[in-house]
């Protein structure tokens, strides 16, 4: 079976775009990285697909859209970085990736952005969606028009998107429940904080957590009613501060979305730092600092960079070769991070050394 550039990329620990640049002398690649790629290619007997390259040169260019919501949050900034890297690497293949960055979760803005991008002639769309009936109908309409859609970071089940790339958020919630049980003594009181109520990722993390504690809670943890903080640190701070003052026996907090900085600030202001176990999501720069200062106990990371980086390439493969993704649900890893395995390298190791 023919060796592919993707196989070389995985063995070399770089992206497929870096392999392409190294093997075809396009763009800047670190000499040591290039040498490693050439060595692996030679060992595997890799031969460029000259016919495929000729087809690429004769094919018309592609235009792909990407809509990213909650772009103001640290995690979505990492997803955005993945999209931008994909845009840079696909440009050499004649692909234009048009990125729309939206603050918060606003269905109307998403629908307007879809209309704008389709008017510009996009042939595929990557999107972090709200889970609403109207948006589901819109995605189904795009599919009927021949415009494939991939959801990233958050999904919209029941739609005709060709695949979803992101964390298995329900299982992540189950993981958080198991960790909370291990950290806390029996009958401890725990406060769950959710994000946006129409965000599938946030809700699945909450449901996985609550369902697991309800079904398998041998520790009999006492779970307070969940509170939505809408990805806002000020809301999370107010909710946490009120909960701590009203519940002096509160010893655990579970945060399904952004808002963990507000939670940690309130805990410290109430002189409870080190006494309350806090589980949050995503190894970004703020969370790394909170872990190192013992404000956060555990962070569940979801490989956010890949969630932005991979969809444009999958859409290109679909448009170019009519190749569907291998799976409808492509789950990124659930990585358990503590202060002992969370440094800057841990969340920037997605960046190839191309300088």
- What are the sequence ranges of the domains in the chain? 1-58, 61-167+304-333, 169-301
Q: What is the pLDDT of residue 235?
A: 97
Residue 131: is its pLDDT beyond 80?
Answer: yes
Residue 29: strand, helix, or coil: coil
pLDDT at 189 over 50: yes
pLDDT of residue 350: 47
Which superfamily, per CATH, for 61-167+304-333? Response regulator (3.40.50.2300)
pLDDT at 17 over 50: yes
H helices of 284-331, where?
285-292, 304-321
Looking at per-residue confidence, does 42 or 127 come out higher? 127
pLDDT at 20 exceeding the cut of 90:
no
Contacts of 159 (CB under 8 A, 6+ apart): 129, 135, 136, 139, 140, 149, 151
Alpha helix stretches (DSSP H) within 92-183:
107-119, 133-144, 169-183
Q: How confident is the model at residue 27 (pLDDT cuts 50, 70, 90)?
A: low
- Predicted pLDDT at 58: 46
Q: Determine the average pLDDT of the residues in 30-40.
A: 81
Q: Which fold has domain 169-301?
A: Rossmann fold (3.40.50)
**What is residue 7's predicted lDDT score, i.e. its pLDDT?**
86
Nearest to 230 by CA among 207, 257, 250, 268: 257
- pLDDT tens digits, 257-316: 999 999 999 999 999 999 999 999 999 999 999 999 999 999 999 999 999 999 999 999
Q: Is residue 349's pLDDT more than 60?
A: no
Bigger pLDDT: 218 vs 320: 320
Sort 345 into a burial class: Cβ within 10 Å, 0-12 / 13-18 / 19+. exposed
CATH topology of domain 1-58: 434 Repressor (Amino-terminal Domain) (1.10.260)
3 state DSSP class of 315: helix
- Mean pLDDT score, 59-75: 89
Q: Which two tokens stand for residue 289?
A: 């600092």
Average pLDDT, the chain: 89
pLDDT digits (tens, 9 = 90+) for 190-209: 999 998 888 889 999 999 99
Say if 1-58 and 169-301 have the same CATH topology: no
Please tell me the predicted confidence (pLDDT) of residue 14.
Answer: 86
Mean pLDDT of the 42-64 span: 65
Yes or no: say if 255 and 222 are a contact pair by the CB < 8 Å rule.
no
């Amino acid at each position: 079976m023919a060796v592919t550039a993707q196989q070389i990329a995985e063995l070399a620990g770089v992206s497929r775009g870096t392999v392409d640049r190294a093997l075809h002398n396009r763009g800047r690649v670190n000499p040591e990285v290039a040498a490693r790629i050439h060595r692996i290619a030679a060992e595997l007997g890799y031969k460029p697909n000259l016919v495929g390259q000729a087809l690429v040169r004769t094919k018309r260019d592609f235009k792909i859209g990407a809509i990213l919501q909650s772009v103001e949050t640290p995690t979505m900034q990492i997803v955005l970085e993945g999209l931008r890297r994909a845009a840079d690497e696909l440009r050499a293949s004649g692909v234009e990736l048009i990125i729309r960055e939206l603050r918060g979760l606003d269905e109307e803005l998403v629908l307007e952005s879809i209309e704008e991008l389709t008017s510009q002639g996009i042939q595929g769309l990557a999107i972090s969606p709200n889970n609403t009936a109207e948006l589901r109908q819109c995605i189904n309409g795009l599919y009927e028009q021949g415009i494939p859609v991939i959801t990233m970071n958050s999904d919209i089940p029941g739609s005709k998107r060709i695949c979803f790339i992101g964390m298995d958020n329900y299982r992540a919630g189950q993981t958080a429940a198991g960790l909370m049980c291990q950290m806390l003594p029996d009958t401890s009181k725990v406060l769950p904080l959710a994000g946006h109520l129409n965000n599938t990722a946030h809700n699945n993390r909450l449901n996985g957590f609550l369902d697991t504690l309800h079904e398998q809670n041998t520790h009999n943890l006492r779970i307070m009613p969940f509170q939505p903080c809408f990805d806002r640190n000020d809301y999370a701070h107010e909710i946490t501060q009120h909960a701590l003052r009203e519940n002096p026996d509160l010893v655990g907090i579970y945060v399904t979305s952004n808002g963990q900085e507000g939670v940690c600030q309130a805990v410290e202001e109430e002189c409870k730092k080190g006494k309350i176990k806090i589980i949050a999501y995503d190894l970004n720069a703020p969370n790394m600092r909170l872990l190192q200062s013992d404000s956060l106990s555990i962070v569940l990371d979801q490989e956010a960079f890949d969630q932005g980086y991979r969809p444009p390439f999958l859409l290109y493969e679909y448009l170019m070769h009519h190749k569907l993704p291998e799976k409808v649900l492509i789950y990124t890893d659930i990585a358990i991070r503590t202060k002992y395995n969370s440094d800057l390298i841990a969340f920037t190791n997605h960046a190839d050394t191309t300088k």
